[in-house]
Amino acid sequence: MASQPWLGRGFSYELDFINYSGEHITTTHSVYMGALLKGGIVGLLLLLAIIACGLWQAWRKRHTDSRYSLAILFYALVFMASQGMFIISNPRETWVLFWLPLGIALSKGVAEKR
């Protein structure tokens, strides 16, 4: 990471090391650390901008029926801090857990503008 802080190592970079207890590690287990490692500071800031937009839209709708999207999105963000893998990949449970509530939160703002 120190050698390429701004743009990271690239999407195809494979993490591969042995930790202090002898376990073979191939993932950061954190979406945020994965975005920083693979996308650098720019990639992490873009991810955080997308998250901030979704949280803002969900927060604005917290007193309507859409308040559940805020709760699910918040849960997903906390979950992926320690258990999420890199979310730009083939669809799997963590992918749906992040992108579905984010999409619901963001779609509420678009629907209102029409």
Number of domains in the chain: 1
- Residue 70 phi, psi (nearest 5): -65, -45
**pLDDT at position 31, please?**
86
CB 31 within 8 A of CB 84: yes
CA distance 16 to 2: 16
Low-confidence ranges of the chain (pLDDT < 50): none
3-state secondary structure of 101: helix
**pLDDT at position 47, please?**
93
Q: What angle do CA 98, 12, 53 make, to 5 degrees?
A: 30
Partners of 17 in beta bridges: 25
Whether residue 6 is contained in a domain is answered as: no
Whether residue 80 is contained in a domain is answered as: yes
Whether residue 4 is contained in a domain is answered as: no
Q: Model pTM greater than 0.85?
A: no
**pLDDT at position 44, please?**
94
**pLDDT at position 43, please?**
93
